[in-house]
Amino acid sequence: MTLRSNLPPGSPRWATRRAQWHALGLGEEDLVKPKIAIVNSSSGLAPCFSHLDPIAAAVKESVRAAGGVAFEVRTVAPTDFIMAAGGGGGYVLSSRDLLAADVEAVVEGAQLDGMVCLASCDKTTPGQLMAAARLDVPAVVVPCGYQSSGVLDDGERVDIEDVFLRAGRLRFGGITFEGLCDLSDRAITGPGVCTGMGTANSMHIVAEALGMTVPGAAPVRANSEPMWRAVRASGEAIVAAVLAGRTPRSILTRAAFGNAVMAVLAVSGSINTVKHLQAIAREAGTDVDVYALFERYADTIRPLAAVRPNGEDTIEDFEDAGGALAVLAQLGGVLDAGAVTVTGESMGERLARAAAAGVVRDERVIRPLSDPKAAHPTVVVVRGSLAPGSAIVKLSAAEDRAMTFEGTARVFGDAPSSIAAVEGGLVRPGDVLVLRGLGPVGTPGMGMASQTVFALDGAGLTGQVAVVTDGQLSGLVNKGVVVGEVQPEGALPGPLGVVADGDRIAIDLHERRVDLLVEDAELARRQAGRAPHHVPGGESGWLPVYARSVEPLARGATLRGNDLPATRA
């Protein structure tokens, strides 16, 4: 077949490219082989990425064995726990789009034929899938595994989210400084992404449900044999996809997004998957409304698994029970079996083969569709007069919190001031803590609201105080009634930006509503007197550029300029 990387022999670009690659040790026969980018977000900044270099080397070898030529390329490596310290936390989500641009610049600039993406922390998987959808060159995602966690002297398991949550209790005496340091010392005992069903593991499962991985790729223990098996299979898969002309837009169809949404609901996945899936759909040029899909399937799909902190099972239990492939098999007839996968088989064919091999190894951990872990959905899209666009609530499978709440608004424009108010006793039972200015434009890049939620937990106010915010929440731990990612965000025209102290707010998760109990005329008066949000103009740096370009969450918080024609239904 004709490969786009094969430039006209004798042309100046062919000659100079030949010279460059000859210097790297490539021979004449290599110049006509499929040329594959190994997209590596390796970084020494966090354990999420610290093990990726040997994986990249193994993928390169597997590509060579399959008849291709591999080139390792690097990207930004966003990590919430490290990079949220600066820019109000805005560098984390915005780096997802920076990563997609990193991939585009190299793969499109060099006119490479395909790519294998090493998926690790929260934003690398969606960023890589966004790039694959945008460029529409064959791509395979390789989930690179989750980290091992430790135990305390009393045998209690401890992981990074325990550290994050319990740090909020320090101010109130719920843990000592020495105890917190002990947790921190023991929480992570190996490389890979956070344990538990957080955003990273959820997005690895999403990649498999979309059909963009080899079968059985997620979740896996980092550096385990199942991970290395997927790594070895990736080289053959990408070369075959290139030779077959099997591109992401033939895979990322409406059917695939429906399957992915059902998988998220079935595993009680992270709420952050909603905006990431919407962003991938936008880059794929589809007209899929992912928020509407979550609303639709929340009526019928219940949690089939309950991995910590949604339940008692560990991510190891979940993997050993069959992982993502077992969940998809249990969903069975409700999935779209005709969806295409990167290996060329349909999702139905893949699942039939998996079922015949006994992929569901423990139905206590991964339940059948007829016997779910809970009777309610775990990712709930809510709307109402306070969130006319939408908002999202995460519930656990073992839900015991109140499903309704009405209280008095206490409004804050940033996380530190809200935490100070909680710690100072200024937030009281019956309040609805409104935290705004953390959206994609307001921060810019989305600020993290979880610290405020954890401060409430430390103060013993979980369940007694509700939270409404336009900020981002942890993909793992949320406590109490927390309404996140409110649209329109507070920085844009809309009700969230004009909520005042003392307003009444009503939340009803049964009805999937969040309402501001203020007369329309009063809201109109407030809007008319409101000064417009200042969007950075001539300032240099990445975040001002992002603020001027970012679209609302309803469009995945993607950047303007990617309005591609809808090519797949």
The pair of three-digit structure tokens given for residue 247, joined into one six-digit string: 């591109």
CATH (domain of 122): 3.40.50.280
Residues 138 and 162 in one domain: no
For residue 274, tell me if it sits in a domain.
no
Residues 178 and 100 in one domain: no
Q: pLDDT above 90 covers what percent of the chain?
A: 90
For residue 78, tell me if it sits in a domain.
yes
Residues 159 and 201 in one domain: no
Please tell me the distance from the alpha carbon of residue 455 to that of residue 229, in angstroms, as a whole number: 42
Residues 62 and 182 in one domain: no
* Structural domain boundaries, residue 231: 34-148+191-251
Please say if the pLDDT value at position 438 is more than 50. Answer: yes
- What pLDDT does 469 receive? 98
What DSSP string describes 9-41?
TTSHHHHHHHHHHHHTT--GGGGGS-EEEEEE-
The pair of three-digit structure tokens given for residue 521, joined into one six-digit string: 């005329």
Please say if the pLDDT value at position 165 is more than 90. Answer: no
Kindly indicate the confidence band of residue 539, based on its pLDDT and cuts at 50, 70 and 90.
Answer: confident
For residue 239, tell me if it sits in a domain.
yes
Lowest-confidence region among 113-122, 204-213, 535-544, 549-558: 535-544
For the chain, the average pLDDT equals: 94
Residues 159 and 38 in one domain: no
C-alpha distances in angstroms, 18 versus 13, 71, 124, 343, 455? 8, 14, 32, 31, 59
Residues 185 and 63 in one domain: no
| Helix and strand counts by DSSP (H, E) for the chain | 20, 14
Kindly indicate the confidence band of residue 561, based on its pLDDT and cuts at 50, 70 and 90.
Answer: low
Residues 40 and 154 in one domain: no
By C-alpha distance, which of 75, 353, 108, 69 is closest to 235? Answer: 69
For residue 273, tell me if it sits in a domain.
no
Residues 92 and 212 in one domain: yes
Q: What would the pLDDT profile of 307-361 be if each residue is shown by its tens digit?
A: 998 888 999 999 999 999 999 999 988 999 999 999 999 999 999 999 999 999 9
Please tell me the distance from the alpha carbon of residue 70 to that of residue 41, in angstroms, as a whole number: 16
Residues 69 and 161 in one domain: no
Residues 72 and 168 in one domain: no
Residues 400 and 516 in one domain: yes
Total structural domains within the chain: 3
For residue 540, tell me if it sits in a domain.
no
Please tell me the distance from the alpha carbon of residue 368 to that of residue 380, in angstroms, as a whole number: 21
- What pLDDT does 401 receive? 64
- What pLDDT does 479 receive? 75
Kindly indicate the confidence band of residue 68, based on its pLDDT and cuts at 50, 70 and 90.
Answer: very high
Over range 196-206, report the average pLDDT. Answer: 96
Residues 61 and 153 in one domain: no
CATH (domain of 428): 3.50.30.80
For residue 357, tell me if it sits in a domain.
no
Active site residues: 474
Q: pLDDT above 70 covers what percent of the chain?
A: 97
- What pLDDT does 532 receive? 85
